[in-house]
């Protein structure tokens, strides 16, 4: 292996692409004359006619089907519910995102956060750099904010930001996601549309978008369902009812 | 391991598979369970054929304009600060990956499940580097690795052929002391692998779909190891077959929905992630992000009858409905791509029939695979096409087959001949069948034919080892007669 293999090398790329075009017997750069137009609008229309109340019901049903503990609470009960979660799961070490105070205040849990007493309280925080991963690994639980909840599949979504990173959702043992009812969408499609637009308009800057449906699981041993293989052992979604 | 997984002949592999009763029972059970889950998930979505049309359309479109989409994708990776390497062969790909590993002085590699890295035998190549260790982190792949790199048996469920006691034995070698409860063994693997994850400096993943217009990689998984692989190590290498591309997030959404329902009967798997190298202000994820785009024989399909196999999204549904797969399991095929998709793909990737020449014949052409394929690949037609191409290559004559099929065609199209054949069939086959009455059961291991081995033994044995000839129903009888009879049999009113 004397020769150095270069990435991002025009010659490497062009040789490869020309060879495919030649084998396919089709000239390159014809795509602009034939952009993809989908045959039907099923992705947009499926479940698109549901009311907010129906979406909430569907989200609950589908989340519970995938072993999620699904709670609906009024905004002023959120703090009490989070405390209950910590007690029930016997959480000693907790990881939280480092969003600014107004986000916590919006959800009426700013005081709750500031008054938390735990053996270890970690924030996914700029100051900790990659050590955030070590802290997340040591955490019994993470309590985070989801961008959307998908009714069809019981899926929460979260784009990686500096306040709430990738490992945040995977390393802690238990996991709770907070999501407002107004952020329940029918299907993955509607969330993708929003992310796609935000990325293209530079309103969202992220390298990673997670769609998470329930706890980690595997059927690799005799197809018996094992819950909690690499990611969290259990998942709780807390939906804040619309005011 | 590479594409070819065995040095045994096809007959030897089949013989071995037939002796493995646990494997056969496990495959049968898995096929039946998956059938129910898959059907339910598809019905719940509704308009399944409309969704399949979309899947087919998207995949055909990107294959048609593959160079254009790959160009767009690679430009976006570069724009995001990543590195793209185009590899014509497995050797090119593994050389590049080893080069990165050396440059970065990698000590510990974590891998998430990827068929394409098995295809290029990446693990073995990487392990040649001094001081480097490597861990497959998908539970099934981890079991195979610890079991002395055993062959996978399914593209979605690689350890389908192992029972819990075998898994326990494998784990005992690395310090497990518990019982054979899958959950306990899962917890052991979690702890064992988590430690390794925290120390890993290179992560290697496959790719379900690559998003051309933003340079992201889409991975669809259930365990969470792929996401840890993309969060923890400072360097990530993605290895993707060149055909795994989609125009934008929107088309990935359609395909993810088809894939999850078809592969495991879920609406979405636990984790569906779109990911690239980390941004400057993010705190985890790879600082150094590489994508290796691999041909390795895929382009052999272009501009041939086999081009549709490049549409494949590796859901495994065709394996899960295949009656041949049910009998011989994944290892019977001798390729890491088994089942109907493997029969079509393996000779294409291999560039000929030398290693996989028997595979197109291990098929009853029942068409169940084509029927279930979420991207509408006409699998059984492509299998038949392989037979033709192979025969032509070997300069074999298929005129006898042509005459037989022509006769069948004329016979089935002409009512008087067809009715005559039905009458004749009952009488002609009667002497060979032990079964007095017909039944819905399809296996007659104790049949008469098995006891007359002198009649063309080798040919007949291929049939009667697992079933005997059934006495065809009388012409007057219809489905209703069979059904009534079957019900009576079930109630024990008559003997089966
Ligand atoms: S050929 Fe079709 S059914 Fe088989 S794995 Fe590929 S996409 Fe799935």
Choose the residue to mutate in B257, B262, B320 for probing ligand 1, maximizing ligand atoms within 8 Å of C-beta: B262
Looking at residue A154, its pLDDT comes to: 97
Are residues B277 and B80 in contact, defined by beta-carbon separation less than 8 angstroms?
yes
Instruction: Considering only the beta carbons, identify the residue of A16, A154, A224 that sits closest to B88.
Output: A16
The answer to whether residue B446 scores a pLDDT higher than 60 is: no
B247 CB within 8 Å of a chain A CB: yes
* This prediction's pTM: 0.89
Nearest to A209 among B185, B273, B300 (CB): B273
What is the DSSP code (8-state) at residue B335?
Answer: B
Q: Which atom of ligand 1 is nearest to the CA of B262?
A: 8
Q: Which residues 44-103 of B have a C-beta within 8 angstroms of A?
A: 45-47, 50-51, 53-54, 57-58, 61, 64-71, 74, 78, 80, 83-86, 88, 92, 95-96, 98-99
What's the pLDDT score for residue B491? 83
Task: For residue range B182-226, list pLDDT tens digits in order.
Answer: 999 999 999 999 999 999 999 999 999 999 999 999 999 999 999
Summarize the confidence of residues B243-269 as an average pLDDT.
96
Whether B163 has a pLDDT exceeding 70, the answer reads: yes
pLDDT for B9 beyond 70: yes
Q: Residue A189: list chain B partners with CB under 8 A.
A: 250, 253
Q: Is A46–B223 a contact, with Cβ atoms under 8 angstroms apart?
A: no
Q: pLDDT tens across B316-326, in order?
A: 999 999 999 99
A44 falls within a domain = no
Please tell me which of the candidates A12, A30, A211 has its beta carbon nearest to residue B272: A211
Taking the centre of ligand 1 as the mean of its atom positions, its distance from the CA of residue B311, in whole angstroms, is: 8
In a domain, A17, yes or no: no
Domain count, chain A: 1
8 Å CB contact between B474 and B457: no
Predicted pLDDT at B412: 84
**pLDDT at residue B430 in the model:** 67
Mark yes or no for CB contact B66/A13 under 8 Å: no
- What pLDDT is stored for residue B451 in this prediction? 54
* In a domain? residue A27: no
Query: What 3-state class would DSSP assign to B124?
Result: helix
**Looking at residue B475, what is its pLDDT?**
72
Q: How many CB atoms lie within 10 A of CB B102?
A: 13
H or E stretch including B239?
strand B235-241
Please state the rounded mean pLDDT for residues B410-415.
85
What is the CATH classification number for the domain harbouring A185? 3.40.50.10420
Our answer on whether the CB atom of B341 is closer than 6 Å to any ligand 1 atom is yes
Q: Which residue segment(s) compose the domain that A154 sits in?
A: 49-240
Ligand 1 within 6 A of B312 CB?
yes
Residue B316: CB within 6 Å of ligand 1?
Answer: yes
pLDDT of residue B51: 98
Residue B204 · residue B236 · CB < 8 Å: yes
B272 touches chain A (CB under 8 A): yes
Contact B282 A30 (CB under 8 A): no
pLDDT confidence tier of residue B466, bands split at 50, 70 and 90: low
Q: Indicate left, alpha or beta for A80 from its phi (over 0: left) and psi (-120 to 50: alpha).
A: alpha
* DSSP for residue B127: T
Q: Quick one: pLDDT at residue B441? A: 54
Write the pLDDT tens digit of every residue in A87-140: 999 999 999 999 999 999 999 999 999 999 999 999 999 999 999 999 999 999
Q: Which of B219-223, B302-306, B317-321, B446-450 is the least confident region?
A: B446-450
In angstroms, what separates the C-alpha of B216 from chain A's closest C-alpha?
Answer: 8
Q: Residue B373: CB within 6 Å of ligand 1? A: yes
pLDDT value at residue B431: 65
Is residue A170 included in any domain, yes or no? Answer: yes
pLDDT digits (tens, 9 = 90+) for A176-235: 999 999 999 999 999 999 999 999 999 999 999 999 999 988 888 888 888 888 999 999
Separation of CA B374 and ligand 1 centre (Å): 7
In a domain? residue A33: no
CB contacts, 8 Å: B297 with chain A:
none
Residue A1 counted as domain residue? no
Q: What is the mean pLDDT of chain A?
A: 96
B224 with A40: Cβ contact below 8 A? no
> What would the mean pLDDT of B469-495 be, rounded to a whole number?
76
pLDDT of the residue at B423 = 75
pLDDT by residue (tens digit) across B82-101? 999 999 999 999 999 999 99
Please check the confidence at residue B308 and state whether its pLDDT lies above 80: yes
Q: Which positions in chain A touch B294 (Cβ < 8 Å)?
A: none
Look at phi and psi of residue A28 and say left if phi exceeds 0, alpha if psi is from -120 to 50, else beta: beta
**Across the beta sheet with B245-246, what order do the strands follow?**
A184-185, A148-150, A155-159, A208-212, B271-275, B217-221, B209-211, B245-246
Is B496's pLDDT higher than 70?
Answer: no
Q: B373 C-alpha vs ligand 1 centroid, how far in Å?
A: 5
* Beta carbons of B380 and B371 less than 8 angstroms apart: no
Residue with CA closest to ligand 1 atom 3? B373
| Residue B153, pLDDT score | 83
- A24 vs B85, B187, B302: nearest CB: B302
How far, in Å, is the centroid of ligand 1 from the Cα of A35? Answer: 25
Cα dist. B60→B7, B65, B245, B310 in Å?
A: 35, 9, 11, 8
Helices (H), B336-478: 339-350, 368-372, 379-393, 399-413, 415-429, 457-464
Inform me whether the pLDDT recorded for B469 exceeds 90: no
Residue among B74, B80, B283 minimizing CB distance to A130: B283
Residue B128 has pLDDT above 80, yes or no: yes
For residue B240, name the pLDDT band (cuts at 50, 70, 90).
Answer: very high
- Crossing angle for the helix pair B21-45 and B10-19, to the nearest 10 degrees: 90
Q: Determine whether the shortest distance from the Cβ of B216 to ligand 1 is under 6 A.
A: no
Residue A232 lies in a domain: yes
Residue pLDDT, tens place only, A11-42: 999 999 999 999 999 999 999 999 999 999 99
Query: Best of B41, B135, B283, B306 to disrupt the A interface by mutation (most A CBs within 10 Å)?
Result: B283
Residue A41 included in any domain? no
How confident is the model over A161-180, as pLDDT tens digits? 999 999 999 999 999 999 99
For range B343-355, the mean pLDDT? 94
Q: List the domains of chain B with CATH numbers.
A: 10-299 (3.40.50.10420), 399-491 (no CATH)
Give B329 Cα–ligand 1 centroid separation in angstroms.
Answer: 16
Confidence of residue B454 (pLDDT cuts 50, 70, 90): low
């Amino acid at each position: 292996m004397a020769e150095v293999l270069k990435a991002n090398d025009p010659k490497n790329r062009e040789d490869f692409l020309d060879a495919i075009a030649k084998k396919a017997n089709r000239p390159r750069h014809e795509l602009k004359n034939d952009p993809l137009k989908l045959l039907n609008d099923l992705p947009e229309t499926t479940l698109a006619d549901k009311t907010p109340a129906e979406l909430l019901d569907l989200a609950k049903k589908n989340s519970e089907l995938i072993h999620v503990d699904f709670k609906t609470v009024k905004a002023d009960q959120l703090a009490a519910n989070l405390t209950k979660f910590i007690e029930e799961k016997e959480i000693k070490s907790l990881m939280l995102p480092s969003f600014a105070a107004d986000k916590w205040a919006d959800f009426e849990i700013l005081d709750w956060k500031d008054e938390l007493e735990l053996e270890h309280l970690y924030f996914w925080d700029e100051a900790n750099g990659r050590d955030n991963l070590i802290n997340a690994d040591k955490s019994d639980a993470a309590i985070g904010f989801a961008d959307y909840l998908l009714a069809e599949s019981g899926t929460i979504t979260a784009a990686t930001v500096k306040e709430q990173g990738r490992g945040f959702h995977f390393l802690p043992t238990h996991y709770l996601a907070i999501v407002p009812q107004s952020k329940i969408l029918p299907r993955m499609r509607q969330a993708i549309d929003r992310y796609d637009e935000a990325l293209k308009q530079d309103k969202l800057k992220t390298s990673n978008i997670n769609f998470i449906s329930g706890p980690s699981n595997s059927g690799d041993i005799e197809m018996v369902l094992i819950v909690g293989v690499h990611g969290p052992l259990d998942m709780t979604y807390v939906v804040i009812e619309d005011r | 391991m590479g594409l070819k997984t065995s040095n045994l002949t096809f007959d030897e592999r089949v013989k071995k598979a037939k002796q493995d009763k646990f494997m056969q029972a496990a495959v049968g059970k898995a096929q039946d369970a998956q059938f129910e889950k898959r059907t339910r998930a598809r019905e719940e979505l509704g308009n399944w054929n409309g969704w399949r049309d979309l899947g087919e359309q998207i995949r055909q479109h990107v294959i048609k304009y593959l160079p254009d989409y790959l160009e767009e994708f690679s430009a976006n990776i570069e724009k995001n600060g990543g590195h793209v390497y185009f590899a014509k062969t497995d050797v090119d790909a593994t050389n590049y990956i080893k080069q990165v590993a050396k440059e970065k002085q990698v000590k510990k590699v974590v891998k998430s499940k990827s068929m394409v890295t098995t295809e290029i035998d990446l693990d073995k190549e990487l392990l040649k580097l001094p001081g480097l260790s490597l861990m497959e982190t998908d539970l099934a792949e981890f079991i195979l690795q610890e079991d002395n790199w055993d062959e996978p048996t399914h593209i979605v469920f690689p350890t389908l052929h192992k029972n819990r006691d075998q898994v326990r034995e494998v784990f005992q070698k690395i310090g497990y002391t518990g019982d054979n409860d899958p959950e306990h063994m899962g917890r052991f693997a979690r702890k064992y692998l988590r430690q390794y994850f925290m120390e890993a400096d290179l992560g290697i993943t496959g790719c379900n779909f690559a998003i051309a217009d933003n340079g992201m990689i889409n991975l669809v998984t259930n365990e969470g190891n792929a996401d840890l692989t993309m969060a923890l190590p400072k360097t990530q290498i993605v290895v993707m077959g060149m055909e795994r591309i989609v125009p934008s997030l929107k088309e990935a959404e359609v395909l993810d929905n088809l894939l999850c329902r078809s592969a495991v009967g879920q609406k979405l798997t636990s984790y569906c992630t779109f990911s690239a190298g980390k941004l400057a202000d993010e705190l985890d994820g790879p600082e150094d992000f590489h994508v290796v785009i691999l041909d390795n024989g895929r382009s052999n399909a272009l501009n041939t009858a086999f081009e549709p196999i490049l549409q494949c999204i590796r859901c495994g549904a065709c394996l899960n409905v295949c009656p041949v797969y049910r009998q011989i399991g994944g290892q019977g095929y001798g390729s890491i791509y088994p089942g109907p998709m493997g029969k079509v793909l393996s000779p294409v990737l291999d560039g000929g029939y030398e290693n996989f020449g028997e595979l197109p014949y291990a098929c009853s052409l029942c068409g169940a695979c084509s029927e279930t394929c979420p991207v509408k690949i006409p699998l059984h037609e492509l299998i038949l096409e392989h037979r033709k191409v192979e025969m032509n290559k070997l300069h074999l004559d298929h005129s006898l087959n042509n005459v037989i099929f022509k006769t069948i065609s004329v016979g089935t199209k002409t009512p008087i001949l067809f009715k005559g054949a039905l009458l004749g069939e009952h009488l002609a086959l009667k002497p060979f069948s032990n079964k007095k009455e017909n039944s819905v059961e399809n296996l007659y291991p104790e049949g008469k034919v098995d006891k007359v081995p002198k009649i063309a033994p080798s040919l007949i044995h291929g049939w009667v080892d697992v079933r005997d000839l059934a006495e065809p129903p009388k012409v007057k009888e219809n489905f209703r007669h069979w059904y009534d009879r079957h019900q009576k049999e079930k109630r024990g009113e008559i003997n089966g």
